[in-house]
Chain A
Amino acid sequence: MKGTYLGEFEELVLLTVGALYPEAYGVAVMDEIKKETGRTVNISAIHSALRRLDDKGFVKSKMGGATNERGGRRKRYFELTSQGKKALDEAQSLRLKLYNRITDISLGGS
């Protein structure tokens, strides 16, 4: 299956979903990203990323209960799947592995 690759923004969203558990829904994810990284993201971009992650099987979702807020619309809550966790682990370890190979020499240069 093509598309199991994790993009930079997708990874960020995926991490946020994991961090916010069990309160991860569209607006919450957006706020969190804004808070942590300072990036202003349109809500539609969050939705797209979440849906792609869902398609790839990295997150799963369910509708929350009825509320009186937000015009009476229910929220869709997302949570990490084990596959999503694995993808994050892999990304993390790959990053670490490469990071550790950065020698002092290349830093001394600048």
Chain B
Amino acid sequence: MSKQQHISPPRLAKRFLRLYCRQEFLEEIEGDIYELFDRRVSQKPRRARWLFCWDVLRFFRPMNIKRIKTTNSNIINMTRNNFKVAARVLWKQKTNTVLNIGSIAVGMACFILIGLYVRQELSFDKFHDKGDRIYRTWTKEDYGQGQQFFYTSSPLPLAPTLEANIPEVEATVLVDYSNFLVGDGENRLNERVAFVSPNFFDVFSFKLLKGNVQKPLERNTIVLSEDYALKYFGSEEAVGKHITLQVNDNKVSYEVSAIMANMPSNTGFQMNMIVSNEDKERFYNPRALQAWFNIAPETFVLLRENTSAQEVVEKFPEMINSVLGDRIEEGQYELGLQLLEDIHLNPDFPAASMPVGNPRYVYVLATIGMLVLVMACINYTTLSTGQSIRRSKEVGIRKVVGAQKGGLIWQYLSESILITAFATLAGVALALFLLPTFNHLAGTQIAIIFDLQNLLLLISIILLVGIATGLYPAFVLSNLKLINILRGGKSGGRGAGIFRKSLVVFQLLLTIFLISGSLIMRQQLNFLQSSDVGYEKDAMVYVNLYPKEGANGMLNGIVSGFENAELLKARLSQYPEVSGLGAANHMFGSTGWTQVGFNDVNGQFRQFYVLATDAHFVDGFNIAMKEGRAFDEDMEVDKRESIIINQAAVDYFGLEDPVGKKLPGNDFGNHRIIGVTENFNFQSLHTDVEPLIIVQNLSPIFAGISDVTINDNPIPKVFFKYTGQNLLAVRDILDEAWSELFPNEELNFSFIDERLRLLYENEARVNKIAGVATVISILIAAFGLLGLTILVVNTKVKEIGIRKVLGASPITIMNILLRQFSIQLGLAFLISIPVTWYLMNQWLSDFAYRVDIGLLVFVASGFLSFLIMLSVIVYHAVRASRINPVNALRVE
């Protein structure tokens, strides 16, 4: 028995029971479970304690739980009551509620989608744990006379030099990409492979899922993304398998060491296959490893904690001087650091492999998203201010009963917050529903993530929007003069009317601006895509070639590529649908053609683009010749030394009567200008046509230049015009010819007009998003107008009745209603013209070739908005004018 005394019911359970249980039931409940406990404890003490807890939990039912004492607090009661009243009012005015919730929901959905896109753009590479210490190097070389080079890639010896000379540098990471053929034997795929320093995963925060997570990058190991593990090994376990890469001339077998989570879409690194660059000779030729003026990979630098980039940068000149002192003068070679997080949205630095977006577009879109939301808010404000007449009696009674002003304001605010909350829920649902469409349309890959941060953001948006929309109506309503209301006189001062009207004008202004803005954007894009670029681009196809095995170096690669081009051309010429065959080492639709520089006879630094082609480039693309002749296939001299230049080059070099002359440089090999082409735009229409020289043999040009910049694959491509009906059949033809000639390589071809469209992808994306926002804003404005029309018709029922009795025709009555809004629309339209003009000209100044903003755009958008207004108003106006005046006047 004494043992039994020790064992008492669990303290915690007892306390919990006392905490929740209502006083009046506590004694009997406690008594009963104590009794049960006493009975059980003699048999199985441990079990008894468990059962005691279980009983306590089972008693935790609403009927036993204490009533919360604070329920009687006035604030909580009133708030509950407010929400109840709000729900009733909303239920009673269903049209109004639907319009309000509808427009805020649609606006919110639009805001959420655009916001997600903007957030993704702004969050580029901001997730790295050490992100605040990771920098990328940039270099500015300045030799005077316009001979300046600015690049964010870097020479290979830079990284070891930094590590050796600057103690603040904790680590460096080289990142480079190249296309390698992957696989063995048949079905080799051309893949973009990243080769990086072995410490890549230590510096950047990319998640490794399985395999050798500690040291994934060794000499002969490769890391695959989940997608690529699936692509190459299907459902099999990829780790430990082997994969063959053709790295330059060597076939190297790599073992899959680890699988990496797919890189998120908000990072500038887009890698699916990563190998280590530890064996540098495998990837770079020995000269490049030593060269300071050969730029290849991007170098990322991880600084030690608590060091400022400023301190480090200040040590650079000394370091550069010690390494390069004998080869450059003071100030000619400047090295700097750019924060990793800064790369994506800073177009002041030239792009290397990390994509750089235009921050302006991000801000434009963010603004559009905000504007749409603001329009939706205006709907609520105008409609509920308009409603205030109806609700003035309610306010009057409340005041008589003793409601304070603060209480009234809080009441109406809670109403608007309630509406916003509903609308936001609907908006999130709508956004989820529309997300795939949006991604497809805008070519983005955004996802809605339900994390705590987004949730908090959403809640704060609800509160903000709810308060912003509700504040004005709340003040108007609570400010109504008691006497006026109860006497039944007119309520709401003049000021309220003007405020409401100007809100409507503002809203219409935004709508018209968005309509004209997206019209102008579309015009510009159409102009870019359809404008005459000076060469044939419709149904032109090109095929990427590969150099033959064993062709080392760029020039040899190009030459052997042309040899392959001849094979493919001969094979393709057998098809009747193929005409205008030719080859060139760059193609339209990709920027970054070979650009070279040299010092001319006067010592001035000159730069031009150079393109290697076969004899059929000019006639294949139907490029107009201004003077001289094009290449002739049968003339040997053309293959050796003839060059063709464009008009821009003639102007640039200041040549007069250029045919038969030479370029103004000292070291060029034998060459002779045989023709001048009209300017054709070989880059994108963002820029003017620049000097271009077309050759069949690159050697004489390369002999006389001092530097080369290439940001495009320089291996030749075969191009042709496809004259068949079915564009899909191109693939069949090419597959057939290709598999015969190059069975081991992957076929890779594109249509030129498609590639050209990609050049304006950024603009097209913004235009599409803006287009969506415009449609939504039209919708919202229409909602608003509809609500206002119903309101006006309701308040003017008697006026209309009296007018009809006195003999007014339905037309007159419609006029009265239309006049209400026509003035506001007209005003909005007038203001929109200069605003649109100014803002859109800002945007257009990004383009070297652009449309003029014509009057037509404004006429069109004005007409469109008037039409929309008419179609929204007309139904209710007609109904109002048809109403039997007896019904209207009988009410009293």
Contact A27 B27 (CB under 8 A): no
Contact A70 B31 (CB under 8 A): yes
Cβ-closest 10 pairs across A and B: A73-B31, A44-B58, A26-B32, A70-B35, A71-B34, A76-B28, A70-B34, A44-B59, A70-B31, A27-B32
Contact A51 B28 (CB under 8 A): no
Contact B33 A43 (CB under 8 A): yes
Contact B32 A43 (CB under 8 A): yes
Q: Count contacts on A: residues with CB < 8 A to the other chain.
A: 18
Question: Nearest B residue to A77 by beta-carbon distance?
Answer: B28
> Does A48 count as interface, using CB distance less than 8 angstroms?
yes
Within 8 A of A (CB), among B23-75: 25, 27-36, 38, 55, 58-59, 61, 63-64
A70 to B58, CA, bound (A): 19
A47 to B26, CA, bound (A): 12
Select the residue from A26, A42, A73 with max chain B CB neighbours within 10 A: A73
Q: Count contacts on B: residues with CB < 8 A to the other chain.
A: 18
Contact A75 B55 (CB under 8 A): no
Chain B contacts for A74, CB-based, 8 A? 27-28, 31
Contact A73 B58 (CB under 8 A): no
Contact A71 B30 (CB under 8 A): yes
> Does A69 count as interface, using CB distance less than 8 angstroms?
yes
Q: Can you list 12 A-B pairs with a CB-CB distance of less than 8 A? A: A26-B31, A27-B32, A43-B32, A48-B61, A69-B38, A70-B31, A70-B38, A71-B30, A73-B28, A73-B31, A76-B27, A76-B28
Task: Give A residues with C-beta under 8 Å from B.
Answer: 25-27, 42-45, 47-48, 51, 63, 69-71, 73-76
Question: Nearest B residue to A74 by beta-carbon distance?
Answer: B27
Say what secondary structure dominates the interface of chain A. helix
Question: Nearest A residue to B14 by beta-carbon distance?
Answer: A71
Question: Nearest A residue to B56 by beta-carbon distance?
Answer: A44
Contact B61 A44 (CB under 8 A): yes
A89 to B536, CA, bound (A): 102
- With A42-B58, A43-B36, A44-B58 as contacts: A73 and B30 at CB distance below 8 Å: yes
A32 to chain B, nearest CB (A): 14
Say what secondary structure dominates the interface of chain B. helix
Chain B contacts for A45, CB-based, 8 A? 58
Chain B contacts for A26, CB-based, 8 A? 28, 31-32
Chain B contacts for A25, CB-based, 8 A? 28, 32
Select the residue from A63, A70, A74, A76 with max chain B CB neighbours within 10 A: A70
Chain B contacts for A47, CB-based, 8 A? 25, 28-29, 32, 59, 64
B52 to chain A, nearest CB (A): 11
A69 to chain B, nearest CB (A): 7
Chain B contacts for A70, CB-based, 8 A? 31-32, 34-35, 38
Question: Nearest B residue to A29 by beta-carbon distance?
Answer: B32
A14 to B63, CA, bound (A): 19
Chain A contacts for B25, CB-based, 8 A? 47
Chain A contacts for B30, CB-based, 8 A? 71, 73
Question: Nearest B residue to A51 by beta-carbon distance?
Answer: B63
Chain B contacts for A76, CB-based, 8 A? 27-28
Contact B35 A69 (CB under 8 A): yes
B75 to chain A, nearest CB (A): 32
A34 to chain B, nearest CB (A): 12
Contact of B63 among A42, A48, A63, A75 (CB under 8 A): A48
Other than A27-B32, A47-B64, A48-B61, give 10 A-B pairs with Cβ distance below 8 A.
A26-B32, A27-B36, A43-B58, A44-B55, A44-B59, A70-B34, A71-B31, A71-B34, A73-B28, A73-B31
Contact A75 B31 (CB under 8 A): yes
A22 to B58, CA, bound (A): 27
Select the residue from B34, B35, B58, B61 with max chain A CB neighbours within 10 A: B35
A42 to B28, CA, bound (A): 15
Chain B contacts for A43, CB-based, 8 A? 32-33, 36, 55, 58-59
A27 to B25, CA, bound (A): 15
- With A27-B35, A43-B36, A69-B38 as contacts: A75 and B61 at CB distance below 8 Å: no
A2 to chain B, nearest CB (A): 17
Chain A contacts for B35, CB-based, 8 A? 27, 69-70
Chain B contacts for A27, CB-based, 8 A? 32, 35-36
A28 to chain B, nearest CB (A): 9
Chain B contacts for A44, CB-based, 8 A? 55, 58-59, 61
A43 to B35, CA, bound (A): 11
A14 to B207, CA, bound (A): 65
A74 to B34, CA, bound (A): 11
B56 to chain A, nearest CB (A): 9
Select the residue from A47, A74, A76 with max chain B CB neighbours within 10 A: A47
Within 8 A of A (CB), among B690-719: none
